[in-house]
Structure 1
Amino acid sequence: MTIKHVEDYLKSVKEQIKSLELPAEKQYTNYFRGQSNANWDLVPSVFRDHLFNEHNLYYEMERNLYNEMSKLSSVIDKLVYMQHQGLPTRLLDITKNSLVALYFACITHQKCEKECTKDCKKCSDGAVYIFSELENYDKKEVDIISLLPKVKYDFGVNSFYSFVKEQLSVELSKKELERILNKEFALVKSNKNNNRVIKQDGDFFIFSNKGSYDKKIKFDVKRDENRIIIPKEYKKQLLEELDQIGINRYSLFPEPEHLAKYLKHNYVDNESEKEKVVSYEEVSVEIEGKKDYKTKVLEYIEERFPQNKALYEFIVNNDISRTKVREKLSLLGYEEIGVLDMDKFDNFIDSLEIPKNINDLVL
Structure 2
Amino acid sequence: MIEQNDIIIRSWEQLCEEVYHDSWKPEMGRYRSDYAFRGLSDLNYELKNSFLRNCGEKPELEYHLLRNFRKYSINSDPRLTRTFWRALVLAQHHGLPTRLIDWTYSPFIAMHFATANTERYDTDGVIWKVDFVKVNQLVPSPLSNGLAEEKCNAFTVEMLEKIVSLGDFDRLFTDNQVLFFEPPSLDERIVNQFALFSVMNNPTAILDEWLIQHPDLYRRIIIPKELKLEVRDKLDQANITERVLFPGLDGLAKWLKRHYKPVS
Classify the secondary structure of the residue corresponding to 2:197.
strand
Name the residue aligned to 1:104: 113
| Contact kept in structure 1, 2:20 and 2:33, CA below 8 Å | no
Classify the secondary structure of the residue corresponding to 2:215.
coil
Listed as ranges, the gaps of 5+ residues in structure 2 are 1-6, 137-152
- For residues 157-196 of structure 1, the aligned pairs below 5 Å read 160=167, 178-180=171-173, 182=175, 184-196=177-189
Given residue 68 of structure 2, which amino acid in structure 1 is its aligned partner? E
Query: Structure 2-normalised TM-score?
Result: 0.72
Residues 266/221 of structure 1: CA separation in 2 closer, same or farther (3 Å cut): same
| Contact kept in structure 2, 1:31 and 1:96, CA below 8 Å | yes
Residue 218 of structure 1 pairs with residue 210 of structure 2: yes
Q: Which has the higher strand share?
A: 2
Name the residue aligned to 1:82: 91
Name the residue aligned to 1:143: 161
State how far apart, in whole Å, the 2-side matches of 1:106 and 1:129 are: 14
Aligned residues: 230
Q: Post-superposition shift, 1:240?
A: 1.4
Residue 6 of structure 1 pairs with residue 12 of structure 2: yes
State how far apart, in whole Å, the 1-side matches of 2:159 and 2:15 are: 35
State how far apart, in whole Å, the 2-side matches of 1:41 and 1:245 are: 29
- For residues 92-131 of structure 1, the aligned pairs below 5 Å read 92-108=101-117, 113=118, 115-116=119-120, 120-121=121-122, 124-131=123-130
Residue 65 of structure 1 pairs with residue 73 of structure 2: yes
State how far apart, in whole Å, the 1-side matches of 2:248 and 2:165 are: 28
Of structures 1 and 2, the one with the larger relative CO (CA 8 A, separation 6+) is: 2
Classify the secondary structure of the residue corresponding to 1:206.
strand
| Contact kept in structure 1, 2:47 and 2:206, CA below 8 Å | no
Sequence identity (%): 27
Q: Residue deviations 1:170-209, cap 9 Å, x none? A: xxxxxxx733464511221222232111111111111211
State how far apart, in whole Å, the 2-side matches of 1:261 and 1:209 are: 34
- Of 22-31 and 80-89, more deviation after overlay is shown by 22-31
State how far apart, in whole Å, the 2-side matches of 1:144 and 1:43 are: 27
Q: Post-superposition shift, 1:141?
A: 7.0
Q: Residue deviations 1:329-362, cap 9 Å, x none? A: xxxxxxxxxxxxxxxxxxxxxxxxxxxxxxxxxx
- Of 97-106 and 138-147, more deviation after overlay is shown by 138-147
Classify the secondary structure of the residue corresponding to 1:42.
coil
| Contact kept in structure 2, 1:36 and 1:106, CA below 8 Å | yes
Classify the secondary structure of the residue corresponding to 2:61.
helix
Q: Post-superposition shift, 1:35?
A: 1.7
Given residue 105 of structure 1, which amino acid in structure 2 is its aligned partner? A
State how far apart, in whole Å, the 2-side matches of 1:101 and 1:34 are: 4
Classify the secondary structure of the residue corresponding to 1:247.
coil
| Contact kept in structure 1, 2:245 and 2:251, CA below 8 Å | no
Classify the secondary structure of the residue corresponding to 2:37.
strand
Name the residue aligned to 1:316: none
Name the residue aligned to 1:298: none
Q: Post-superposition shift, 1:23?
A: 8.5
Given residue 237 of structure 1, which amino acid in structure 2 is its aligned partner? E
**Over the residues paired in the alignment, what is the CA RMSD in angstroms?**
3.4
State how far apart, in whole Å, the 2-side matches of 1:258 and 1:23 are: 36
Given residue 90 of structure 1, which amino acid in structure 2 is its aligned partner? R
Query: Structure 1-normalised TM-score?
Result: 0.54
Residue 236 of structure 1 pairs with residue 191 of structure 2: no
| Contact kept in structure 2, 1:187 and 1:205, CA below 8 Å | yes
The structure whose Rg is larger is: 1
| Contact kept in structure 1, 2:83 and 2:164, CA below 8 Å | no
Given residue 181 of structure 2, which amino acid in structure 1 is its aligned partner? V
1:44 to 49, 54, 73: 49
Residues 181/86 of structure 1: CA separation in 2 closer, same or farther (3 Å cut): farther
- For residues 197-346 of structure 1, the aligned pairs below 5 Å read 197-209=190-202, 212=204, 217-219=209-211, 221-222=214-215, 226-267=219-260, 269-270=261-262
